[in-house]
Amino acid sequence: MSRQVSRRARSRLPSPARRRFLARGTGLLALGLAGPMLLPSPVAVRARTGDGIHRKTIPGTEESLPTIGMGTYITFNVGPGEAARAPLAEVLRIFFDRGGGMIDSSPMYGAAETVLGDLLAALDYPPEQLFSATKVWTRGTNRGAEQIDESLHLWGLSRFDLMQVHNLVNWREHLETLRARRNHGEIRYLGITTSHGRRLDEFEQIMRDEPIDFVQLTYNVIDRWAEEGLLPLAQERGIAVIANRPFQRGTLFDRFGDQPLPAWAEQAGIANWAQFFLKFIVSHPAVTCAIPATSQPEHMRENMGALRGQVPDADMRAKMIEYIDDL
Ligand SMILES: NC(=O)c1ccc[n+]([C@@H]2O[C@H](COP(=O)([O-])OP(=O)(O)OC[C@H]3O[C@@H](n4cnc5c(N)ncnc54)[C@H](OP(=O)(O)O)[C@@H]3O)[C@@H](O)[C@H]2O)c1
Task: Kindly provide the residue ranges of all beta strands, DSSP E only, lying in 92-233, ordered along the sequence.
Answer: 102-104, 131-136, 160-165, 187-193, 214-218
Q: Any residues with CB less than 8 A from the CB of 312 and at least 6 apart, and which?
A: 268, 279, 280, 283, 320
Rounded to a whole number of angstroms, the CA Rg of the chain reads 19
CA of 323 to the centre of ligand 1 (A): 23
Counting ligand 1 atoms within 8 A of each CB, the residue from 138, 244, 275, 282 with the most, and so the one to mutate, is 244
CATH for the 26-326 domain, from 3.10.20.30, 3.30.360.10, 3.30.390.10, 3.20.20.100? 3.20.20.100
The answer, yes or no, to whether any atom of ligand 1 lies below 6 A from the CB of 216, is yes
Residue nearest to atom 43 of ligand 1 (CA): 250
Say yes or no: CB of residue 301 within 6 Å of ligand 1: no
Query: What span, in angstroms and rounded, lies between the C-alpha atoms of 288 and 218?
Result: 13
Cβ–Cβ under 8 Å, residues 99 and 53: yes
The CB of 272 under 6 Å from ligand 1? The reply is no
107 lines ligand 1 (CB under 6 A): no
167 lines ligand 1 (CB under 6 A): yes
CA 123/CA 21 separation, integer angstroms: 9
| 148: Cα separation from own chain's centroid | 17
Q: Which residues contact 257 (CB under 8 A, 6 or more apart)?
A: 273
Q: What is the pLDDT along the chain (327 residues), one digit of tens a residue?
A: 323 333 333 333 334 444 445 444 444 334 333 322 222 233 333 344 458 999 999 999 999 999 999 999 999 999 999 999 999 999 999 999 999 999 999 999 999 999 999 999 999 766 789 999 999 999 988 899 999 999 999 999 999 999 999 999 999 999 999 999 999 999 999 999 999 888 999 999 999 999 999 999 999 999 999 999 999 999 999 999 999 999 999 999 999 999 999 999 999 999 999 999 999 999 999 999 999 999 999 999 999 999 999 999 999 999 999 999 999
Q: Are 282 and 289 in contact (CB under 8 A)?
A: yes
Is the separation of the CB atoms in 206 and 169 below 8 Å? no
Taking the C-alpha atoms of residue 281 and residue 240, their distance in angstroms, rounded to an integer, is: 14
Every domain of the chain and the residues it spans? 26-326
